[in-house]
Amino acid sequence: MTFFRQYITPLLILLVFLVALVAVSARIFLPSDMAAPAPIEEVEGAMIQHPISTPLAVHFGSGSTGV
């Protein structure tokens, strides 16, 4: 258990950090149009129309607890 705690766990933490660093640093080498954030725009055909006039039916019984 001590071997795992002293050698393996720090190595895994270092590897995760290095992978994240490489992933973030890779944006430097992307073309300028790919390095920008994705545009936020509404697509007209993607909207799903839901009926607004549908009432929410909730029935709580007659009010007695039944105990």
Cβ contacts of 27 within 8 Å, gap of 6 or more: 35
Q: Which amino acid is at 62?
A: S
**pLDDT per position as a tens digit, 16-32:** 999 999 998 988 887 77
**pLDDT per position as a tens digit, 50-60:** 556 555 555 56
Across the chain, mean pLDDT equals 77
Smallest Cα–Cα separation from 25: which of 13, 35, 40? 35
Dihedral class, residue 63 (left if φ above 0, else alpha if ψ from -120 to 50, else beta): left
pLDDT at 36: 72
Global pTM?
0.45
